[in-house]
Structure 1
Amino acid sequence: MNILVNYSGDYLQLLTPELENKLQAIHLGIHTKSAEGADYLGWAEWPGSISPAFLQDIKETAERIRSTSDVLVVIGIGGSYLGSKAVIEALSTPFQNSNDLEVIFAGHLVSGEYLKQLMAYLDNKEVTLNIISKSGTTTEPAIAFRFLQQYMEKRYGNQAASRILVTTDEEKGALRTLAIEKGYRRYVIPGNIGGRYSVFTAVGLLPIAAAGHDIEKLINGAREAEKEFGVFDTNSNPAIQYAVIRNYLYDAGYPVEIMATFDEKLIYVQEWLKQLFGESEGKDGKGIFPTSVLYSTDLHSLGQYIQDGKRMLFESFLMVEKPAGDLTVFEAENDGDELNYLSGLTLHEFNLACHEATKTAHLAGGVPQISLTFEQLDEQHLGHLLYFYMMACAYSAYLLDINPFDQPGVEDYKSNIFKILNKPGYILL
């Protein structure tokens, strides 16, 4: 399973001896767990360490959820929901099958209207909750859980405990204490894996399996990527290539990356990427700002700015080589829409042509281009792709001399809101 990285410039010219030495040091730091932030490098070798028994346990729990529930409500924010949301959206059809378990997310925003409407929607359905939080005190999911836990206890009484699952820290935290007290089934967030790198842990795997997707294939794809990207080769390792190109463009005066796709099923992969790169790199006055577009939709809105606006952007296309389904343009008897010249062309082929046309136009407009291509959108290839991005992100942050695994800016916001809301122990100065 190859990820092809194509760059509008000459990649080999970027590889100076000094850069090669720095990349090799980063590689050793990641794989010997000696790099900055090493306490959170557990994700790098996690796929290969997963046991068959662990996957079987997740699958059995998921099957119990599917057999007893119409809806799984996943409560979490940031890395506690974006990974599973990205995979589920990428692998599901846009139109819900009434026989499928529905996975709904809560706790990623604070909205009384949303929660009221959600609980009203759940009234005629059988429900399971999965609350995901290392501490249990992150404000947004904690608020949602307070309301939804009460809803479950009022509705199911003593049976509520069997319908609430907790994914939290193994050793400490308010949510762990509550789960023990209430008798909730617990899954562990590994202490050496941060939220935005946790999609291959129970954080992501349980909702993904409950949605009916094959987590063994997902993990197999990640294991293949772990093995492939564990080899240091600046000419053939796509994670290194992508990181090098991104950082060269950043140094050349392009601090904004537009992640573009032609497949609407990848929208939440882009959302996951924005958190992954934004939280990992945006520190110390440094970092590439990640944003995203869906083509060709956004060619008719943001496309004008990308083509002719301020020259601070570079563009990264994420392309799927083989679509799961397609249509071919047919010849109409009356060519009133003037589309008969497209007869025999598939819609995937149209998007490939649109990709080439967009690249050519934007490059001429001063927007450097990267294209990332993977074969097809299924569990195995998606697992490979997500691991690729995590490894590329680590390299990219380390090239900027940034710790990829903390988020001090997020902690500042949390501290301020606690002061504003008069949380005990916090003083507003």
Structure 2
Amino acid sequence: MNISINYSGDYSQLLSPELEQKLQAIHEGIQTKSAKGADYLGWTDWPSTISEELLQDIKGTAEHIRSTSDVLVVIGIGGSYLGSKAVIESLSTPFQKLNGVEVIFAGHLVSGTYLKQLMAYLDDKEVTLNIISKSGTTTEPAIAFRFLQHYMEKRYGDQAAARIFVTTDEEKGALRSLAIEKGYPRYVVPGNIGGRYSVFTAVGLLPIAAAGYDIEKLINGAKIAEQEFEVFDTKSNRAIQYAVIRNHLYNAGYPIEIMATFDDKLSYVQEWWKQLFGESEGKEGKGIFPASVLYSTDLHSLGQYIQDGKRMLFETFLNVEKAVDDLTVFEAENNGDELNYLSGLTLHAFNLACHEATSSAHLDGGVPQITLTMEQLDEQHLGHLLYFYMKACAYSAYLLDINPFDQPGVEDYKNNVFKILNKPGY
């Protein structure tokens, strides 16, 4: 279950007594929930403290949705959708629906074309909505919900309320008030867990369970990671190691991290990772800029820049040891494509060879590297991976003396939009 880390430099040389002392203080601050932004450290022990009652309730609701609907539309933006999207995309088969509903996301962008075409697509299907917002007034999902709520009420009449599930704050907010008024079933966004750390709460679990995946295994993987990373040891705690290496490279003049993977199933893990680290670290003129590439595709586009461009980035590979399904290259009678030399090789083995070749080439080009390897793509390993990233992100931000749990820059753009559109009070 443990994630392995390989670094192109010498990790042991990065540790000093001063850094060990700082890491110890950070670790204790996280474990005791006394660090900066302590009000939002509820995610740290959530996997081990989530109630069995809540898990069974979510599973029951998911089963109900599957039995009554063809499509679940999840309305949310940022952490309200990226976690569930990452897990579902990592586990799904592109050309075949599992034993769950089709999960479609809305409210993560403002597009009349998208919403109009979505509602047309839904017309001959049974539909359930899950609106996810702590306040209910975040503009992008609120716009989508206005249209989709109207669609549901027009289509289902009095029965619409049973098909609209709300995940919101437990005690306050416009969405909570609306849910009470309309009688919508409710789930809670815990007050001490921010959106980008919320994948293991009802925010992520309900869509994942509705899609047909095992949320108990997901939580168990996160629980294993929680127990593993609560031990302070700079030589074995992978979350600390990843944070230390990133911090060293940042201070050495590499302010951009590119996450690279050869597995397209992980593309939304990359998107979730970008939000997690970008919003947590990018403050006060500090922070590593998170970017991503999908190989081999991007080796034929951005690969040139990574190989020979300005030396300001480092590369983190995310590899998976075992493929879910695979093909083996066969020998052709007419070797016109000159591929018979690959006969007997699986395509997964080909990608592993491409990783080795790419790593070597980019190292020769002066690109520092980290390689993270997970055993396989399933619920338990994904739960472990996502928790690993959350814990490492907290260490990374605290090493920069930054609060990982606010996002003041996001509020600036929102205020400007409200001013431009003449929202009352702005």
Q: TM-score range by the shorter chain?
A: over 0.9
CA-to-partner distance for each residue in 1:272-297, whole Å, 9 max, x for gaps? Answer: 00000000000000000000000011
Which residue is 2:376 aligned to? 376
Which residue is 1:129 aligned to? 129
CA-to-partner distance for each residue in 1:69-90, whole Å, 9 max, x for gaps? Answer: 0000000000000000000000
Correspondence 1:91-240 to 2 at 5 A: 91-97=91-97, 100-240=100-240
- Give the secondary structure class of the aligned counterpart of 1:373: strand
Correspondence 1:42-57 to 2 at 5 A: 42-57=42-57
The gaps in structure 1 that reach 5 residues or longer are none
CA distance, structure 1, for counterparts of residue 97 and residue 150 of structure 2: 29
Contact 2:316/2:372 (<8 A) preserved: yes
CA distance, structure 1, for counterparts of residue 117 and residue 344 of structure 2: 46
Per the alignment, do residues 99 and 83 of structure 1 end up closer, same or farther by CA in structure 2, a change over 3 Å counting?
closer
The gaps in structure 2 that reach 5 residues or longer are none
CA distance, structure 2, for counterparts of residue 68 and residue 309 of structure 1: 53
Question: Within the alignment, does 1:281 sit opposite 2:287 as a pair?
Answer: no
Ranges of 4+ aligned residues in structure 1 off by more than 6 Å = none
Which one-letter code corresponds to 2:11 in the other structure?
Y
CA distance, structure 2, for counterparts of residue 200 and residue 97 of structure 1: 23
Query: Displacement, 1:253?
Result: 0.3
CA-to-partner distance for each residue in 1:66-109, whole Å, 9 max, x for gaps? Answer: 00000000000000000000000001001133874100000000
Which residue is 1:29 aligned to? 29
CA distance, structure 2, for counterparts of residue 254 and residue 94 of structure 1: 36
Which one-letter code corresponds to 2:102 in the other structure?
E
Contact 2:75/2:145 (<8 A) preserved: yes
CA distance, structure 2, for counterparts of residue 277 and residue 224 of structure 1: 22
Cα RMSD, aligned residues only: 0.8
Q: Normalising by structure 2, report the TM-score.
A: 0.99
Which residue is 1:241 aligned to? 241
Which one-letter code corresponds to 1:169 in the other structure?
D
CA distance, structure 2, for counterparts of residue 43 and residue 100 of structure 1: 27
Which one-letter code corresponds to 1:228 in the other structure?
E
Q: Normalising by structure 1, report the TM-score.
A: 0.99
- Give the secondary structure class of the aligned counterpart of 1:162: helix
CA distance, structure 2, for counterparts of residue 229 and residue 99 of structure 1: 34
Which residue is 1:394 aligned to? 394
Correspondence 1:335-354 to 2 at 5 A: 335-354=335-354
CA distance, structure 2, for counterparts of residue 361 and residue 402 of structure 1: 35
CA distance, structure 2, for counterparts of residue 141 and residue 218 of structure 1: 26
CA-to-partner distance for each residue in 1:321-373, whole Å, 9 max, x for gaps? Answer: 11111111111112111111111111111111100110110011111010000
- Give the secondary structure class of the aligned counterpart of 1:376: coil
